[in-house]
Structure formats: structure tokens, C-alpha cells
Amino acid sequence: MLLDSELILNPDDSIFHLHLKPGQVADTIILVGDPKRVNVIESFLNDVEFKISNREYVSITGKYNSKRITVVSTGVGIGNIDIILNELDALVNIDFESRKIKNKRKKLNFIRIGTSGSLQKDIIVNSYVISKKSVGFDNLLYFYLNNEKIINKEYSVTFKTHLGSDHLFFSPYVIDASEELYDILNSKETHSGITITSPGFYVPQGRELRLNSKLKNINNKLSSFFYEDHRITNYEMESSAMYGLSKLLGHEAIAICLIIANRLNKNANPNYKSEVEKLIKYVLDKITK
Ligand SMILES: O=P(O)(O)O[C@H]1O[C@H](CO)[C@@H](O)[C@H]1O
Ligand SMILES: O=c1cc[nH]c(=O)[nH]1
């Protein structure tokens, strides 16, 4: 039995951060960073059942092409993914009355629609990248038992060696996306690649404003790295944890991102909202076909 301090429920029996109750979550869940992106997706949905917000987490459930879909905003970063994945899983796989894990587990499909910075010249601003693998520059997965069963050890070690890093803080881990969800989203409109999930937007992604990186020429080293013919394509800040926790919990996960900056071509599109809207429509059509 999960005690009050471990599975924290609010006075209305909703889960601690998301404020959602069992039954409110669909099997297919779109995760977005920006809470305002939830409103954009809402404009495409019918039969919206509720809109619940707490902190940076805004959640809705509605229908697109008759398929029930939940949308949750995650805010920025890995810590939020730890909260959201654990709470969404608890909502479907833990009985809130008995506080016990259910015998029959439900599998969820997580699709992240994000924004991202490209690490390849030909993956230009406004293109879409699906992350076939994610390389975690964070350390969240290392806290979880059985992480070694889902981390691609050989790739992770090769990668660390390539970066020539003996820094104690840095142990990148490589995790695969869901092949099933990849096949649904992949098309000639998308690039596929390997995504770096970074614990920061500035120095951890090689953006030196007033502070400098301990990892010299990090972006050139990433752009030139190949493993089994796969190249590193882009930076974002959530998918490694989303892939890792989904695999440990028995769910499927994929991330597709709009490129809003190209780090090699040195350009960016800060007015990317209409492009995100097109990506949202692309994803909704693909997952409800
Ligand atoms: O646009 P979202 O989904 O937030 O994704 C990207 O944008 C944020 C940084 O600006 C990070 O969360 C990064 O992963
Ligand atoms: O360069 C970028 C753009 C969006 N999100 C990131 O994490 N990095």
C-alpha cells in the first residue's frame, strides 16, 4: 500500500501536481512544453471534457477524428517529466482507493510535440525531426532501478569517448523511442535522428553568453559523430527522461520537434507559433488515421 507521503493526493482525490483524477486520462497523451500550446491543440479538438491547470501543467481531454486524446503541458526540463510520467502512470495503474498497484496494467502512448535546435546544416529551421533515439545529458535515469536494461550501453560509452570527456558529472545515456509510434509519425515530411536531451538551454547546449562550457567545441563534436550510420540531429530538453520512464513503466513514447534554431547555420525563427500549429495538425492526423 502506497502511504500518504508517497502517493500524494489532493483533498478532492486528484493527483498532487496534475490535479487530475482516474478516468480523466486517455490512452493517447500528447505532451507539450509550452502551456499555451495546449490551447492550440484544444482548438482542433471536439468534446473537450475539462481543462485543469496547476503550476505549468495544463491538461485537457477531448476528441480528434473520434479518438479520445489527452494533452498535458510539461513546462521545461527533465524534473517535470519525472513528475508527469509518474503521475499519469499512477492515474491509470494505481487504484487510488486501495492505494495499491493494479494487477492489470494499462499501456499509454506518449507523443511529445516540442521545439528544438538543429545540429545539422541540412535540417533547416521549420523542419520536423522525430527522435529515434535520445541521448540524455541529464542523470535522471541513473536513479531508477533497472536502468541498465533499457540504456544502450555500447552506444553510451562510444559517445562519451568521442566527446573526450572524463568529467565526473557527464555520463550520457542512450534510449530508443517506440518503433510503433515512430512508424506512425514518420513520412517524407520528417527527418529522423538522434536527439540530445540537455539539462539546460545555454551552456549545456553550447550557448555561451557570459559563461563558458567545460566541453570545448561541443556542438561540432556532436554534429560530426556517427554511430551505425546515425548522426546526432538536434537538441531539446525532455525526451531522454520521457523515453526512459516510458520503457521502465511499459508505455510507448516518441518525440517530434519543430526546428526553431539551427546551431550550425547560426539562424533562428523566434516567430515559430504558426509552424507549431502545422506540426500539431500533422501529428493529430497521423495518430488518428
Ligand atoms: O517547446 P518545448 O516543448 O518546451 O521544447 C523545447 O523548448 C524549451 C526550451 O526553450 C525546452 O522545453 C525544449 O525541450
Ligand atoms: O535550440 C533550442 C531550441 C529549442 N529548444 C531547445 O532546447 N534548444
**Average pLDDT rounded to a whole number, residues 148-162:** 90
ipTM for this prediction: 0.99
Q: Are 267 and 261 in contact (CB under 8 A)?
A: yes
Query: C-alpha grid cell for residue 183?
Result: 512508424
Question: What's residue 216's pLDDT?
Answer: 84
Cβ of 137 closer than 6 Å to ligand 2, yes or no, is no
pLDDT surpassing 70 at residue 209: yes
Q: Are 67 and 288 in contact (CB under 8 A)?
A: yes
Hey, is 135 helix, strand or coil? strand
Residue nearest to atom 4 of ligand 2 (CA): 116
Q: Which atom of ligand 2 lies at the shortest distance from residue 261's CA?
A: 1
Confidence of residue 222 (pLDDT cuts 50, 70, 90): very high
**Average pLDDT rounded to a whole number, residues 211-231:** 90
Q: Which amino acid appears at position 217 of this protein?
A: N
- Angle 250-253-256 from CA coordinates, rounded to 5°: 175
CB atoms within 10 A of CB 86: 16
Question: What's residue 215's pLDDT?
Answer: 84
**Average pLDDT rounded to a whole number, residues 43-48:** 98
Indicate the CATH number of 28-287 among 3.40.50.1580, 3.50.50.60, 2.150.10.10, 2.60.40.1180.
3.40.50.1580
Confidence of residue 149 (pLDDT cuts 50, 70, 90): very high
Confidence of residue 109 (pLDDT cuts 50, 70, 90): very high
Q: Which of 201, 205, 217 is nearest to 76 (CA)?
A: 201
Residue ranges of the domains in the chain? 28-287
Cβ of 117 closer than 6 Å to ligand 2, yes or no, is yes
**Average pLDDT rounded to a whole number, residues 93-105:** 98
Query: C-alpha grid cell for residue 47?
Result: 468534446
pLDDT tens digits, 135-144 = 999 999 999 9
Question: What's residue 151's pLDDT?
Answer: 95
What is the largest distance, in Å, between two alpha-carbon atoms of the chain?
56
Phi, psi of 223 (to 5 degrees): -60, -30
Expressed in angstroms and rounded, the spacing between residue 86 Cα and the centre of ligand 1 is: 20
pLDDT tens digits, 161-201 = 888 767 767 889 999 999 999 999 999 999 999 999 999 99
Question: What's residue 162's pLDDT?
Answer: 85
Question: What's residue 165's pLDDT?
Answer: 65
- Contacts (Cβ under 8 Å, ≥6 apart) of 73: 31, 32, 33, 34, 35, 37, 38, 56, 57, 58, 59
Q: Which atom of ligand 1 lies at the shortest distance from residue 32's CA?
A: 3
Q: Is the dihedral of CA 36, 52, 33, 214 positive or negative?
A: positive
Q: Which atom of ligand 2 lies at the shortest distance from residue 263's CA?
A: 1
Residue where the block lists cell 479520445: 68
**Average pLDDT rounded to a whole number, residues 91-107:** 98
Distance (Å, whole) CA 191 – CA 197: 17
**Average pLDDT rounded to a whole number, residues 41-53:** 98
**Average pLDDT rounded to a whole number, residues 265-282:** 98
Question: What's residue 214's pLDDT?
Answer: 87
Residue where the block lists cell 482525490: 13
Phi, psi of 53 (to 5 degrees): -135, 145
- Burial pattern 140-176, b for ≥16 Cβ within 10 A else e, equals bbeeeeebeebbbeebbebbbebbebeeeeebbbbbb
Residue nearest to atom 2 of ligand 2 (CA): 117
Least confident of 223-227, 262-266, 270-274: 223-227
Query: C-alpha grid cell for residue 144?
Result: 531508477
**Average pLDDT rounded to a whole number, residues 220-242:** 94
Residue where the block lists cell 488515421: 289
Residue to probe by mutation, ligand 1, list 38, 40, 72, 76, most atoms within 8 Å of CB = 76
Expressed in angstroms and rounded, the spacing between residue 101 Cα and the centre of ligand 2 is: 37
End-to-end CA distance of the chain: 40
